[in-house]
Amino acid sequence: MTPSITTFRWVPPFACGHVRDIRARWAFEETGIAYRVDLVDSAKTPEHRAFQPFGQVPTYRDDTVALFESGAIVLHIARQAPGLLPPDPAGQARAEQWVIAALNSVEPFANDLVMVDLFQADEPWSAMRRPAVVEALQTRLGDLAAALADKPFLDDAFSAGDLIMACVLRIVPRDAILSGYPTLLAYLDRCTVRPAFQKALADQLALYAPASDAPAPVAEGVLA
């Protein structure tokens, strides 16, 4: 069967281009693997939760496995065809290391800022919490910039680790925060100028463009 991923049928405008199926789409494009997209109105239904216990997207299915979590999906795709993992075991391990680092050591700090600036902006404590959130994120970005140094990518060549890290960096406000790290800004642009990303992004935006102003049937978990 053609591999399939799920994503939302509708998301609010601020989420267009950022729903996490973009990660799987990009991996498919880098490896040249054909895929299809199945749409859900809500990821919180009992049927979806029976497969994805946290009620998120994307999910993935092929002839051999059904998966959730974008990092696991990207790594599985990367193992199916050349393009996202080095040929040697050590290089593969380093690429997997950066996937995990992006998801565990950087993304939670970026998401904290999204929470205080967007989802929790009306809470009375949000403004007081924000400086600490920004400081923690900046510390992680500084660490990442130091690790990247003057290399074009995190390891010898573009890999699944760069794909996930670039997706995480796209969450960070570009002008307000990421511009303070020119090395990371150039790295992000180097990753996202790739034709595979541009195709993945265009496909996701095309999905939502016709109904971008439609009322939301369910709007929870749009950045899941």
CB 161 within 8 A of CB 91: no
- pLDDT tens readout for residues 180-194: 999 999 999 999 999
Amino acid (one-letter) located at 220? E
> Can you list the domains of the chain with their CATH numbers?
4-83+197-211 (3.40.30.10), 89-194 (1.20.1050.10)
What sign does the dihedral 183-184-187-193 (CA atoms) show? negative
Token couple for 157: 């060549």
Token couple for 103: 């998801």
- Cα(181)–Cα(170) distance, rounded to whole angstroms? 13
By C-alpha distance, which of 194, 114, 116 is closest to 159?
A: 194
Between residues 192 and 156, the one the model is more confident about: 192
Please give the model's pTM, rounded to 2 decimal places. Answer: 0.92
Alpha helices by DSSP H, listed for the chain, are 21-31, 46-49, 70-78, 89-101, 107-114, 126-148, 160-169, 182-192, 195-208
- What is the structure's pLDDT at 37? 97
Give yes or no for residue 222 having a pLDDT over 50.
Answer: no
Strands 36-40 and 4-8: parallel
